[in-house]
Amino acid sequence: MAEKYDSKTLDKKWQQKWADDKLYEVKDNDPRPKWYALTMFPYTSGDLHIGHWYNYVPADVSARYKRMRGFNVLHPMGFDAFGLPAENAAIKRGIHPNTWTMQNIDNMRRQLKSIGGIYDWNREVITCLPEYYKWTQWFFTKLFEHDLAYHGKAPVNWCPKCQVVLANEQVENGKCWRCESEVVRRDLEQWLLRITRYADELMVHEGIDWPERIKIMQRNWVGKSYGTEISFALDHPGVTEKEIRIFTTRPDTVYGVTFMALAPEHPLVARLTTPEHKAEVEAYIARCRQFTEIERLSTEKEKDGVFTGAYCINRLNGKKVPIWIADYVLSSYGTGGVMAVPAHDERDFAFAKKYNIPIPVVISPPDWDGKELEVAYIEPGKMVNSAQFNGLPSEKGIEAVSIYLEEKGWGKRTVSYKIRDWLISRQRYWGPPIPMIHCPKCGIVAVPEKDLPVMLPETADFRPTGESPLKYNEKFINTTCPRCGGPAKRETDTLDGFMCSCWYFLRYCSPHYDKAAFDPKAVKHWLPVDIYTGGAEHAVMHLLYTRFFIKAIRDMGLVDFGEPFTKLFNQGIIIADHQKMSKSKGNVVNPDVYVSDLGADTVRAYLMFLGPWDQGGEWDDSGISGMSRWLNRVWNLALDEYSSKGSGGDEELVRLTHQTIKKVTEDVERLHFNTMVAALMEFSNYLGKVKESGSASVKEWKTSVKALLLMLAPTAPHLAEEIWQKLGYAYSIHNQRWPDWDESLTKTEEITLVIQVNGKLRERVTVPASISAEEAKKLAADQDKVKPFLEGKQVVNIIYVPGKLVNIVVK
RNA sequence: GCCGAAGUGGCGGAAUGGCAGACGCGGCGGUCUCAAAAACCGUUGAGGGGUAACUCUCGUGCCGGUUCGAAUCCGGCCUUCGGCACCA
């Protein structure tokens, strides 16, 4: 009997040796083809739960497999280290965000090392270190230089008592979570990135292999719609503008307009409102401000609004159209105003009903009786009450009306997008300071590269209001203008953490390079990323931001590709108690316990065996002992003395070995790890039987065990390495080639032919693989178990699927 | 409301037009043991018939369709999960 399998000592022993030997060190100048396997780096929340392992283990297995297939694999790891939780910890517990974050990193790095991954820790990237955020800031100045970053007004949640911006989560029932003052919507000066400039390109996912649903989510988020901008004539005392322009996708309904609806924030509102409506309008606007954006946009909320007292003219029919303001109109979409056609739009319909505004039909439903509509009719139909367009199908009318408007100069076809510019400034401490200087003479000036990074001051006075301590740090604020040398003030906002994660995968390529954000040679070598794995929750945040960022720096000539991630794979989520794991819910499952109990390999294999990787599921450890048992069996199987009693079983053993190599290779290529592990189990079960009977020669036995170990190496790296060494093979198993299979050896000379009658299984016979169709059909009808089902029936057809089955169809 | 994914034994799941339930957990029976645990071996979808080897019927959320043949393809519905949600 071989020595017992002891996972604990093996984990430590090999992790130490691999580190000492720099086994997983990645070099750029390596003749092998490159493979960049990226996995989303963790946020430094404190500790990794089992869900993180579910993300990282299969990614590591896949990367290890590629390594064994002869690729020079870059599979790096780092930490997304800037963000709000660090600052909240500071406010709550008086611990400095930097201390909190770096402690968390130490713990998480320890955990990550216990997985036994192939991370090259020399390439670790931490976004909150000055050597990293220097370049995050540098990128920001580049974006500013290229007019992709700008300072402008954006609506935010504002607490007037605390004098602070609140995140949506910090607003409870319209009140500040700290002081319970009424929260107000306010337009504040913010920094934004012009992601909208890339809207069209972001909708296209050409040449990249991404999950369909992520592509759909991104396209919906960008939300491109084709429509027409229509000018309504305006003649209002004291207003210089002679028109109101609106965007519509339904110009065919323009003859049914019975009111205009402007967003409360629309710039014309104040000037259009007549004196007798002023009080009402102002009260309404004030009330709107009390809603958060989320509440205001809720479909639950009843649509309401007020009349301004002003009118404009529908140029197509000369009708006078009352101008209302309504909070269902968004100031940030289209032109901030809509032409309301209540008969053919659900929202306008509800509004018109409430305020008794007429609802004339201009698109006739198929069997319309001329009566008033009960609900808005939004489907296509025939145009009616629309002057020269009457009788035209509405789909055609869209174009016809648009062309007419263009001819008259009353409108033009255009496109509109749902996506907004990316609000990137945060009134917070724990982020990269936005490297901008406000000079009273020169205006906004970027901090030049030589003065970067703009260091985050260490001493910080954290206020219970959640305000950025930077705002009150005189030493930080006061500076000189890089252009005129005069006194100036620093920007005190910091950058959104998502800006840091836009380029971390570039930094991995040359993490210690100090002349630029990255060494262009290294990035040219490694990028784009061959496979990116991570959660789908980033579909319209990180993944969209990053695509924008890369396209932007491509256009600056910094990189020569526009899509950073060639293939994207979203793993599923491990849940506990039917919900996502999170500290606040207290349902996090700590992997450390399992690792110290059962060893990393068991936990690795178990996570992969749970089910399809993209599916995730409820965490349940009831089966993990089975995985432990299996690895034990493999240990004994490989290390116990094998005594052969002949070579009669060689043929079958060789065949099963090659079949398994084929199956396992195909599964790992497709990231089907659960069936890959199952195939390895089946194979080892079979080897157990061979060992029992001694039916194969020692030579074939050894070859098969070797193949099993090589295929097991990515999944159970410690166990495989130990057995490999004990069997006397050369260190390290992880530098070996993945086994190949010979297709001809996977085939059998005899096959099992399935015989069906009317599609129902009736018999199985073993026949030579070379059997002809005629023979097979004849044989099938001759079977004793088949005959009774043919008796008294007429055979109408016989289907033969070569190598598989015969189906006799009877009547 | 709209978009997307998924529904298979007691449980996780396998099979994506051809033997439903691979592999594992759990259960049951056994070996070992004074006994138990561990380990190992056998068995395990439901229902029926047979002393038995065995054998038949039903069965992949529900209803219908296509096909020689459907878990798999098509249409309709139900349920669960994820995303978006007044975008004119």
Residue nearest the C1' of B80 (CA based):
A578
For strand B, is any atom closer than 7 Å to the CB of A414?
no
Closest-approach nucleotide to residue A785, Cα vs C1': B55
**Dihedral sign of CA atoms A452, A453, A456, A457 in order:** negative
For strand B, is any atom closer than 7 Å to the CB of A212?
yes
Query: Can you give the pLDDT at residue A1?
Result: 47
For strand B, is any atom closer than 7 Å to the CB of A344?
no
CA of A521 to C1' of B29 (A): 67
CA of A375 to C1' of B78 (A): 27
Residue nearest the C1' of B6 (CA based):
A615
For strand B, is any atom closer than 7 Å to the CB of A490?
no
Q: Can the peptide bond before residue A528 be classed as cis, meaning omega within 30 degrees of 0? A: yes
Closest-approach nucleotide to residue A625, Cα vs C1': B25
Residue nearest the C1' of B83 (CA based):
A217
Query: Can you give the pLDDT at residue A170?
Result: 59
For strand B, is any atom closer than 7 Å to the CB of A196?
no
For strand B, is any atom closer than 7 Å to the CB of A384?
no
Query: Can you give the pLDDT at residue A153?
Result: 78
For strand B, is any atom closer than 7 Å to the CB of A305?
no
Residue nearest the C1' of B22 (CA based):
A678
For strand B, is any atom closer than 7 Å to the CB of A539?
yes
Amino acid, res. A451: D
CA of A24 to C1' of B81 (A): 39
For strand B, is any atom closer than 7 Å to the CB of A802?
no
Residue nearest the C1' of B69 (CA based):
A759
Closest C-alpha among A476, A558, A523, A562 to residue A145:
A558
Residue nearest the C1' of B15 (CA based):
A675
Closest C-alpha among A220, A226, A401, A410 to residue A313:
A410
Query: Can you give the pLDDT at residue A4?
Result: 81
For residues A452 and A138, is the Cβ–Cβ distance under 8 A? Answer: yes
CA of A338 to C1' of B88 (A): 6
Query: Can you give the pLDDT at residue A181?
Result: 67
CA of A284 to C1' of B63 (A): 53
For strand B, is any atom closer than 7 Å to the CB of A95?
no
For strand B, is any atom closer than 7 Å to the CB of A799?
yes
User: Which CATH number is associated with domain A224-417?
Assistant: 3.90.740.10
For strand B, is any atom closer than 7 Å to the CB of A582?
no
CA of A761 to C1' of B55 (A): 14
Closest-approach nucleotide to residue A302, Cα vs C1': B86
For strand B, is any atom closer than 7 Å to the CB of A615?
yes
β-strand pairing of A617-618 with A579-580:
unpaired
Chain centre to alpha carbon of residue A185 = 30
For strand B, is any atom closer than 7 Å to the CB of A299?
yes
Closest-approach nucleotide to residue A760, Cα vs C1': B69
| A57-84 as b/e: b if 16+ CB within 10 A | bbbbbbbbbbbbbebbbbbbbbbbbbbb
For strand B, is any atom closer than 7 Å to the CB of A250?
yes
DSSP string, A204-226: --TT-B--HHHHHHHHHHH-EEE
CA of A755 to C1' of B17 (A): 17
Closest-approach nucleotide to residue A420, Cα vs C1': B87
Query: Can you give the pLDDT at residue A182?
Result: 66
For strand B, is any atom closer than 7 Å to the CB of A301?
yes
Rounded distance, CA A90 to CA A429, Å?
11
Closest-approach nucleotide to residue A250, Cα vs C1': B88
For strand B, is any atom closer than 7 Å to the CB of A809?
yes
For strand B, is any atom closer than 7 Å to the CB of A415?
no
CATH code 3.90.740.10 region(s) in chain A: 224-417
CA of A758 to C1' of B73 (A): 20
CA of A337 to C1' of B88 (A): 8
**What three-state secondary structure class fits A763?**
strand
DSSP secondary structure letter of residue A371: S
For strand B, is any atom closer than 7 Å to the CB of A336?
yes
Q: Collect the ranges in chain A with pLDDT lower than 70.
A: 1-2, 157-185, 291-300, 463-467
Q: What is the largest CA-CA distance in chain A?
A: 108
Closest-approach nucleotide to residue A224, Cα vs C1': B87
For strand B, is any atom closer than 7 Å to the CB of A640?
no
Closest-approach nucleotide to residue A335, Cα vs C1': B88
For strand B, is any atom closer than 7 Å to the CB of A620?
yes
For residues A241 and A261, is the Cβ–Cβ distance under 8 A? Answer: no
**What three-state secondary structure class fits A368?**
coil
Complex prediction ipTM = 0.95
**What three-state secondary structure class fits A527?**
coil
Chain centre to alpha carbon of residue A690 = 47
What values do phi and psi take at A317, rounded to 5?
-125, 5
Nucleotides of B under 7 A from a protein CB: 3-5, 11-15, 18-20, 22-26, 38-41, 55-57, 68-70, 82-88
CA of A762 to C1' of B46 (A): 20
CA of A625 to C1' of B37 (A): 15
Closest-approach nucleotide to residue A801, Cα vs C1': B18
* SS3 per-residue string spanning A593-661: HHHHHHCHHHHHHHHHHCCCCCCCEECCHHHHHHHHHHHHHHHHHHHCCCCCCCCCCHHHHHHHHHHHH
For strand B, is any atom closer than 7 Å to the CB of A217?
yes
CA of A570 to C1' of B71 (A): 25
Query: Can you give the pLDDT at residue A502?
Result: 96
CA of A571 to C1' of B24 (A): 21
First CA to last CA distance, chain A: 63
For strand B, is any atom closer than 7 Å to the CB of A754?
yes
CA of A522 to C1' of B82 (A): 38
What values do phi and psi take at A425, rounded to 5?
-90, 145
CA of A263 to C1' of B80 (A): 39
CA of A221 to C1' of B4 (A): 14
User: Which CATH number is associated with domain A748-810?
Assistant: 3.10.20.590
**What three-state secondary structure class fits A96?**
coil
For strand B, is any atom closer than 7 Å to the CB of A220?
yes
For strand B, is any atom closer than 7 Å to the CB of A536?
yes
For residues A134 and A141, is the Cβ–Cβ distance under 8 A? Answer: no
β-strand pairing of A184-193 with A422-423:
antiparallel
